[in-house]
Structure 1
Amino acid sequence: MVVSLKDLPRVPLEEAIPVASAMYDNVANGTATFNNIARLLNSSPRTTKTKYMIWGAEGYGIIIKHENNEYSLSETGRKIVAPTYYDEDSEAKVKAILTPTIFSKFFTEYNKHPIPQETYLTNLLETKLGIPRERVEEAKEIILKNVDFTGIKRTDDKTGKEIIDLDKSTPGPKSEKKEEINPIDSDSLSIDDEIEEPVQNQEGQTWNKTCFVICPIGEEGSTERKHSDMILKHLIQPVLEVFGFSVIRADKIEQSGLITQQILENLVKARLCIADLSFNNPNVFYELGVRHLCQLPAIQIIRKGDKLPFDVSQGRAITIDTSDVYTLIDRLESAKKELAQYITPIVNNTSSDVSDDNPIKVYLPGIKVTIPR
């Protein structure tokens, strides 16, 4: 079995971070070729170490490879090497180690559980995660180094065993922009005007330029509705407008007919789907499941503090801290960059693994769904 370097990097995250640092210090918001990055690292692009560092940085999602074979710094990489807020770098490091599919499967399955004993871990990596035998020892070493580097282990008070805990990460240095966290009064965050009516997928509108948004809508005036309206207006719509997409949300569908039928039609036909998993709404998870079954690209958003009950690649979810009104604008701007970075390879057809965060594709790859047109 062949495992790609994006699914299983050959260096731990700590050894890939210098690539992101070099990009931040020298390239800023621009791009650089593979050879240029190697020069920034004072190394030859032909050495195995340099290749693994750059490919590893791509695998961890801290740099992005574009269709012209040039690289740019991702928002996750920026947060690691130049955090704006306290603990932003720690959270980004955890996100990075959850980005490669194999690492994500391991850490997600063993979250809140003891680290397996060495013999069992070796067998697990080969038989369950499909790592080639010749790479098992290397993978085991990288996993354990990533655990130590990100601080995602703790000692269980009752058993004394070391537990993997994705909610526990090593705090980074406090940023000067750190503010006292003040819970937001749901009425204090203005949505300005009413949510603009999205362009509907009416006759003549192609599904290829449609983004369907699934989210917790809630009753008018509820916290869930205010949250979803804010995310739609201040995050999703501005980014999708740049890509020329129509944005449709279930409560904005105005065509006649059964609403459930129209929701399902949007789920299986829209080119892009964005799922806001905040508040752990069961309808949202059901609709995301339909999208997963069709093995179509979906981008996940979630509030910081809400838990993902399942997810093959948590590193591909955009987490937004909405707890502090004084930092929310900056955090939304950061989320816009992440969202655009996820959308770009999908609309450009440059990503061959847009569904690698999909449990259906990962665990039941033989399933095929025929979608009527």
Structure 2
Amino acid sequence: MDEKTAINEAPPASEQPVKARTRKVRKYPTCAFSDALELANAIHKNAGNQQIRRITLFDLIGKASESGPSRTWVTNTAKYGLITGTASSEFLKLTELGYQIVSDESSLYQKAKAKIDLAVLGIDPFNYLYTTFRGNKLPQHAVLTDALDGQGVDIEDRAAVIDVFIVNIEHTGLLRNLSGAQRIIDVGHALEGLPDQRPQSSQLPIASTSQSLAGTVTSGNSHFDGTCFYITPIGEDGSEQRKHADLFLGSIVEPAIESLGLKVVRADGIDTPGLITNQVIEYVLNSKLVVADLSFSNPNVFYELALRHAARLPTVQIMRKGDKIPFDISQFRTVVLDCSDIYTLVPMLDTYKAEIANKARKALEDSESLENPLTAMYPNLRLTR
């Protein structure tokens, strides 16, 4: 058979077999352990140590059981070993260690040991990083990234995996500020001094599972889709507020957000002509992400934050330690940064950047989890243009 005949006899493109798409399967969780722990707490609150229907559980906590974020939440919680079941299972149940962590019957030692086992030692890339750098100062991101070569972590996932690792070792007490630096310590050191007796009363509060029905609004503008607007008290040149805003922007917020591919813009950095008040509102309502600094209890910051809450858009709240979080938003998570002196702040910079990046990534990927005082009270509230 000649080449011409072979070409003529080839089936048309429409009849060519279509290669089935394959979904990427990650063996490691993509959220912080504390986020997965919220689902475990919800199961414990509503079912104790018994199994519960997945649909019933999500109905009780006010979330859609079949939504993408809800299914990812279940998947990540199962990967941590907190629960049995999958995103498609009829029933979910706490594992033995999962129940030990959330149960009032466990001692502080038992809870802490189980958290370390599940959040760090039980996850291959986290365990590898921990055993590799245990006893040393927390390495730079670039060093941690290089260390993940050959560990089965996709290149595009490595920044997120490292952020989650840092957040997890801090959450479990394996990362401590010693001798002026953040150091990764031994498990025995982390557990030292914790009582191994059952408490007489509840030691740990159950995480809030308040209703969240937020919906993401997109601007449809390529400029804003690549923008993170930084809401912060700026103050006059040379003032404490200006120095604070400059320090947080350049040393913490920008480095944390740049891994997400977003450009951080502050009000005084808006380079388009127009009335500044209108421009600020435009950025608040259209930027893909907002980081709001609640330090100094600045009224302009809270006004702009309220607008962002009403728009139901991804937001991360930060604040310097020592300032009081207003009651109305105190129940919503805020990254607190201790900048009381340089000796306290500098060793914690990488940890703070990881926490902010992790919360920003979660806010962008899981819009249904967005909660604020407005969405909690008025889940159907919507801004219209």
Query: TM-score scaled by structure 1?
Result: 0.52
User: Which consecutive residues of structure 2, in runs of 5 or more, have no partner in the other structure?
Assistant: 1-37, 45-101, 128-156, 179-198, 207-220
1:268 aligned to 2:360?
Answer: no
Of 236, 256, 273 in structure 2, the residue corresponding to residue 256 of structure 1 is: 273
Q: Which position in structure 1 is the counterpart of 2:216? A: none
2: CA distance, partners of 1:322 / 1:311:
24
Per the TM alignment, residue 18 of structure 1 is displaced from its structure 2 partner at its CA by 3.4
User: Does the 8 Å CA contact 2:256/2:357 hold for their aligned counterparts?
Assistant: yes
1: CA distance, partners of 2:177 / 2:331:
21
Higher-helix-fraction structure: 2
1: CA distance, partners of 2:231 / 2:284:
9
Per the TM alignment, residue 247 of structure 1 is displaced from its structure 2 partner at its CA by 1.0
1:361 aligned to 2:375?
Answer: yes
Per the TM alignment, residue 216 of structure 1 is displaced from its structure 2 partner at its CA by 0.7
User: Does the 8 Å CA contact 2:229/2:290 hold for their aligned counterparts?
Assistant: yes
2: CA distance, partners of 1:228 / 1:144:
40
User: Does the 8 Å CA contact 1:74/1:341 hold for their aligned counterparts?
Assistant: no
1:296 aligned to 2:296?
Answer: no
CA offsets 1:310-333 (integer angstroms, 9 cap, x no match): 355646211000012113112221
2: CA distance, partners of 1:143 / 1:311:
28
User: Does the 8 Å CA contact 1:24/1:78 hold for their aligned counterparts?
Assistant: no
Q: Which position in structure 1 is the counterpart of 2:243? A: 226
2: CA distance, partners of 1:246 / 1:315:
25
User: Does the 8 Å CA contact 2:316/2:334 hold for their aligned counterparts?
Assistant: yes
User: Does the 8 Å CA contact 1:322/1:328 hold for their aligned counterparts?
Assistant: yes
Of 327, 330, 333 in structure 2, the residue corresponding to residue 310 of structure 1 is: 327
1: CA distance, partners of 2:289 / 2:296:
22
Q: Which position in structure 2 is the counterpart of 1:328? A: 345
1: CA distance, partners of 2:169 / 2:333:
13
User: Does the 8 Å CA contact 2:315/2:360 hold for their aligned counterparts?
Assistant: no
Of 226, 229, 232 in structure 2, the residue corresponding to residue 215 of structure 1 is: 232
2: CA distance, partners of 1:220 / 1:75:
34
Equivalent positions of 1:1-373 (< 5 A) are 5=39, 8=42, 10=44, 11-12=102-103, 14=108, 17-23=112-118, 26=121, 30-31=125-126, 73=165, 75=167, 78-85=170-177, 144-146=202-204, 205-312=222-329, 314=331, 316-347=333-364, 349=365, 351-356=366-371, 358-370=372-384, 372=385
Q: Percent identity?
A: 35
CA offsets 1:127-172 (integer angstroms, 9 cap, x no match): xxxxxxxxxxxxxx9994326x9xxxxxxxxxxxxxxxxxxxxxxx
Q: Which position in structure 1 is the counterpart of 2:12? A: none
User: Does the 8 Å CA contact 2:166/2:351 hold for their aligned counterparts?
Assistant: no
| 1:18/1:247 CA distance change after superposition, 3 Å | same
2: CA distance, partners of 1:29 / 1:238:
27
RMSD, matched Cα: 3.4
2: CA distance, partners of 1:29 / 1:314:
33
2: CA distance, partners of 1:320 / 1:332:
9
CA offsets 1:198-249 (integer angstroms, 9 cap, x no match): xxxxxx8432211001001011000010001000000111122221111111
| 1:238/1:12 CA distance change after superposition, 3 Å | same
The number of residues matched between the two structures is 221
User: Does the 8 Å CA contact 2:226/2:262 hold for their aligned counterparts?
Assistant: yes
Per the TM alignment, residue 5 of structure 1 is displaced from its structure 2 partner at its CA by 3.0
* SS of equivalent to 1:218: coil
2: CA distance, partners of 1:317 / 1:345:
14
Q: Which amino acid is 2:285 matched to?
A: V
1: CA distance, partners of 2:273 / 2:354:
36
* SS of equivalent to 1:368: coil
Per the TM alignment, residue 364 of structure 1 is displaced from its structure 2 partner at its CA by 1.3
Per the TM alignment, residue 24 of structure 1 is displaced from its structure 2 partner at its CA by 6.1
Query: TM-score scaled by structure 2?
Result: 0.51
Q: Which amino acid is 1:239 matched to?
A: A
User: Does the 8 Å CA contact 2:177/2:347 hold for their aligned counterparts?
Assistant: no
Structure 1 or 2, whichever has the larger Rg, is: 2
User: Does the 8 Å CA contact 2:120/2:126 hold for their aligned counterparts?
Assistant: no
2: CA distance, partners of 1:271 / 1:77:
29
| 1:343/1:265 CA distance change after superposition, 3 Å | same
Q: Which amino acid is 2:373 matched to?
A: P
1: CA distance, partners of 2:276 / 2:247:
23
| 1:212/1:242 CA distance change after superposition, 3 Å | same
2: CA distance, partners of 1:298 / 1:362:
15
User: Which consecutive residues of structure 1, in runs of 5 or more, have no partner in the other structure?
Assistant: 33-65, 87-140, 150-203
2: CA distance, partners of 1:84 / 1:255:
44
User: Does the 8 Å CA contact 2:321/2:336 hold for their aligned counterparts?
Assistant: yes
User: Does the 8 Å CA contact 2:256/2:356 hold for their aligned counterparts?
Assistant: yes
| 1:236/1:323 CA distance change after superposition, 3 Å | same
User: Does the 8 Å CA contact 2:224/2:287 hold for their aligned counterparts?
Assistant: yes
